[in-house]
């Protein structure tokens, strides 16, 4: 497919940029050398004892070359293995000294470099981008005060409350160990066995079964810091904070059927989308937001701020947008940057601090331990992509892959041999001082009472979704549980889902051909300790809070078609004026247009002009586009309609609830695709479908305005019931 052919860079790779890592250009007269700089005379033949003799051990070039090749693959990440990344910068809108003393949040003139890595979670590096999964959203800020890593996801809560359960959760969601199946999917027994025995996971499960788990693009996902952190101002006052990223393009998803087909048409869909956008000179942008809670209000909520399976509804605490992040440069080398970047939630700067969130506390150990194994030793922070941009001095020496040459006799503190350097920095000089939180209590293995409510926010999330989103969640859970082979696990899941919403559980049970159990075996709960027993037997389910509109994607921003991909189906004899007018209307709003024809090369316009073809119907898939337009021209429409793939193309567009427009004779192709195009005889479509805009009189001006409005809204999910019953699969 043409989409899979790497494009020659015409922007970021050829620009002069201020790189965070040293990039050595290859001169026009450069010679091949060893790693030590020795120029190579022959890179084709091994040194042998005679032309047909054995290879000699003394061939140092052979040994170096093969050894490096043998070790070019490092252990992949246990989770978040498949990723994509980009460089950019962050800039705050104004000073925020009333909240924090962090320098990068207080100087609007400062552009803080960032490196952002997006990822799926469960799959291996070779899995597809469109798996139903959480998306990692990790941001490395190269601030003047040191590295700040905000390591989050596109979902604001997590599956577990305590890091001690993290190995169990990951083992459960990964492919089953006896056959390594299924890849990058949670639709199997071990995952739902764990979920059904750990009801704290139910809130996160609702998010993962929602449309948020199959995003349209990395550029169209929200990001969340998940944990509650602290902001510290210059006076030492602490406030609790939740971090948010709000995409300026809005939050959009794809349909599940579409995701399955994209995985076959282009398994690199998300990675390619991010790369191509930036490579074409575009950007990806998010606003940085904070939810701030004063210390005195810590306990005013029905949930515990330290519980990572809970969120603060935005209706309770609005998100203050305090800055913007722009990604505008692709990595120069995937391995050196995207693969070797090492994030750590413990990388903080003065003005930001931890809380006692038990999941966060465990991550502070886990991330360092992981990097030691994955990146070969304690010096992974010296890899260029991980280095701070501010001065760095310490007494750490030696170790595997030490890259710094440290002069001087002193490698300890305190010392006089080195003049006392490097010395400790006082707080007023920018030294980091941990917040002096008051602690009390004995050593226990437990959690606060509010941690035991695992249903209220799961119910809140489900009941806050639009009708279409709720149906998608029903479909997702029915699909997933349909792969679970053990009846006992299905029964436990249905019982727990009924505690979230009875209607949800009933619909899933109907789809599975079973009934929702009235109770589950209490002995199973006892097997996993007191928690499960409390949740399902002794603790009454709390009445959920009123629905939160902010939790529904239906209520997110839908005011732009920037970077959307629009397909034009055309052939020889196409109404060239319509093509030009529609293309100008769409591209003026930032959309990308591709001419798709029965053949490659060029097609002839009705005025005799040559129109370049971007893609052929022979090797294109509708799922790679956001909308379709069929211009007029009797000869053109006849040629396109003669290719059966065009009918399938339009059918899928309709089935996936995307915007469709047609003018003049183009309306005939829509009608031929089993789509109702009832007209009042004056060129106006009388069907009630705002995403189907047709005009057989060929008024492109009127159609383009409505088409742009429909594309901006992303989908007309109301079409699903019609499409499922009338459009061929």
For the annotated catalytic residues, the residue numbers are 80, 153
> What's the per-residue H, E or C state across 122-137?
CCCCCCCCCCCCCEEE
Rounded to an integer, what distance in angstroms lies between the CA atom of residue 471 and that of residue 483? 19
Helical axes 256-265 vs 467-481, angle rounded to 10°: 60
Contact 113/77 with Cβ under 8 angstroms? no
Token duo for residue 15: 């620009």
Q: Distance between CA 203 and CA 703 in Å, rounded?
A: 42
Count, in order, helices (H) and strands (E) of the chain. 19, 18
Supply the DSSP symbol for 336.
I
What are the CA-CA distances from residue 8 to residues 236, 321, 616 (Å)? 52, 37, 20
Structure tokens at 660: 């469709």
Question: Within 10 Å of residue 702's Cβ, how many Cβ atoms?
Answer: 14
Element (H, E) at 285: strand 284-294
- Burial label for 10, CB within 10 Å (0-12, 13-18, 19+), is exposed
Strands (E), 57-216: 83-92, 112-120, 135-143, 146-153
| Residue carrying structure tokens 């097609």 | 603
The whole-angstrom separation of Cα 290 and Cα 312 is 11
Residue with tokens 């799922």: 623
In order, the DSSP letters of 100-116 are ---GGGT-TT--EEEEE
- Preceding peptide of 422 cis, ω within 30°: yes
| Closest C-alpha to 22, from 392, 325, 349, 403 | 403
Rounded to whole angstroms, the Cα distance separating 451 from 2 reads 52
Asked if 269 and 262 count as a contact pair (C-beta separation under 8 A), the reply is yes
Q: Residue 523 and residue 83: Cα distance in Å, rounded?
A: 42
* Tokens encoding 706: 């409505």
* HEC sequence for 7-42: CCCCCHHHCCCCCCCCCCCCCCCCCCECCCCCECCC
* Placement of tokens 């080398």 in the chain: 333
Contact 343, 364 (CB under 8 A): no
The single-letter DSSP state of residue 368 is H
Tell me the β-bridge partners of 137. Answer: 118, 152
Q: Is the separation of the CB atoms in 149 and 143 below 8 Å?
A: no
DSSP 596: E
Q: How far is CA 106 from CA 100, 243, 429, in A?
A: 8, 16, 16
Eight-state DSSP code of residue 546: S
Distance between CA atoms of 421 and 397, rounded to whole angstroms? 15
Query: Rounded distance, CA 614 to CA 607, Å?
Result: 20
Q: Name the helix (H) or strand (E) containing 387.
A: none
**How big is the CA angle at 490 (ends 488 and 495), to the nearest 5 degrees?**
95
Using alpha carbons, select from 658, 605, 656, 600 the residue that is nearest to residue 628: 658
Burial class of residue 442 (count of CB atoms within 10 Å of its CB; 0-12, 13-18, 19+) = exposed
- The sign of the torsion formed by the CA atoms of 395, 398, 402, 403 equals positive
């Amino acid at each position: 497919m043409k989409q899979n052919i790497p494009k020659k860079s015409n922007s970021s790779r050829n620009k002069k940029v201020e790189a965070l890592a040293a990039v050595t250009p290859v001169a026009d007269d450069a010679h091949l050398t060893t790693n030590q700089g020795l120029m190579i005379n022959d890179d084709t033949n091994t040194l042998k004892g005679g032309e047909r003799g054995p290879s000699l051990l003394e061939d140092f070039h052979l040994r170096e070359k093969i050894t490096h090749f043998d070790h070019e693959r490092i252990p992949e990440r246990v989770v978040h293995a498949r990723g994509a990344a980009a460089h950019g910068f962050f800039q705050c809108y104004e000073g925020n000294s009333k909240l924090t003393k962090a320098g990068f949040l207080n100087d609007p003139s400062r552009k803080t470099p960032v490196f952002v890595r997006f990822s799926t979670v469960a799959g291996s590096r070779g899995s597809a981008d469109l798996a139903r999964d959480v998306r990692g959203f990790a941001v490395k800020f190269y601030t003047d005060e040191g590295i700040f890593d905000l390591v989050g996801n596109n979902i604001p809560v997590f599956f577990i409350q305590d890091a001690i359960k993290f190995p169990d959760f990951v083992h459960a969601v990964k492919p089953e160990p006896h056959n390594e199946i299924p890849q990058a999917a949670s639709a199997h027994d071990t995952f739902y066995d764990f979920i059904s025995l750990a009801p704290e996971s139910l809130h996160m499960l609702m998010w993962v079964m929602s449309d948020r788990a199959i995003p349209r693009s990395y550029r169209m996902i929200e990001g969340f810091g998940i944990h509650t952190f602290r902001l510290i101002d210059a006076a030492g006052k602490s406030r609790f904070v939740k971090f948010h990223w709000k995409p300026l393009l809005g939050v959009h998803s794809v349909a599940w059927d579409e995701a399955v087909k994209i995985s076959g048409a282009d398994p690199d869909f998300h990675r390619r989308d991010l790369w191509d956008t930036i490579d074409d000179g575009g950007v990806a942008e998010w606003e940085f937001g904070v939810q701030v809670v004063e210390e005195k209000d810590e306990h005013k909520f029905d949930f515990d701020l330290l519980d990572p399976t809970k969120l603060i509804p935005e209706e309770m605490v609005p998100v203050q947008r305090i800055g913007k992040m722009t990604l505008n440069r692709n990595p120069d080398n995937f391995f050196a940057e995207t693969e070797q970047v090492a994030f750590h939630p413990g990388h903080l700067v003065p003005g930001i601090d931890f809380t006692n969130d038990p999941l966060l506390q465990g991550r502070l150990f886990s991330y360092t331990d992981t990097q030691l194994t994955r990146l070969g030793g304690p010096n992974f922070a010296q890899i260029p992509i991980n280095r701070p941009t501010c001065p760095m001095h310490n007494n750490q020496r030696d170790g595997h892959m030490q890259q710094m040459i440290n002069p001087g006799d002193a490698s300890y503190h305190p010392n006089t041999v080195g003049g006392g350097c490097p010395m400790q920095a006082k707080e007023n000089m920018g030294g980091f001082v941990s917040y002096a939180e008051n602690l009390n209590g004995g050593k226990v293995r437990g959690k606060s009472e509010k941690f035991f409510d695992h249903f209220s926010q799961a119910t809140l999330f489900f009941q806050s979704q639009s009708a279409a989103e709720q149906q998608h969640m029903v479909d997702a859970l029915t699909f997933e549980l349909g792969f679970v082979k053990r009846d006992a696990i299905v029964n436990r899941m249905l019982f727990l889902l009924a505690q979230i919403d009875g209607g949800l559980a009933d619909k899933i049970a109907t789809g599975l051909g079973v009934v929702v159990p009235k109770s589950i075996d209490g002995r199973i709960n006892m097997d996993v300790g007191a928690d499960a027993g409390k949740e399902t037997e002794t603790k009454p389910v709390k009445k959920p809070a009123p629905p939160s509109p902010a939790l529904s994607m239906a209520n997110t921003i839908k005011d732009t078609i920037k970077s959307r991909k629009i397909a034009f189906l055309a052939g020889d004899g196409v109404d060239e004026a319509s093509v030009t007018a529609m293309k100008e209307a769409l591209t003026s709003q930032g959309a990308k247009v591709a001419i798709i024809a029965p053949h490659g090369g060029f097609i002839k316009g009705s005025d005799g002009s040559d129109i370049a073809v971007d893609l052929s119907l022979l090797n294109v898939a509708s799922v790679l586009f956001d909308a379709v337009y069929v211009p007029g021209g009797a000869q053109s429409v006849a040629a396109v309609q003669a290719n059966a793939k065009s009918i399938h193309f339009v059918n899928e567009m309709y089935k996936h609830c995307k915007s469709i427009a047609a003018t003049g004779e183009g309306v005939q192709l829509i009608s031929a695709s089993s789509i109702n195009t009832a007209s009042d005889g004056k060129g106006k479509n009388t069907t009630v479908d705002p995403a189907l805009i047709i005009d057989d009189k060929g008024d492109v001006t009127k159609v383009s305005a409505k088409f742009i409005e429909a594309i901006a809204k992303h989908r007309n999910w109301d079409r699903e019931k019609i499409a499922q019953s009338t459009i061929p699969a």
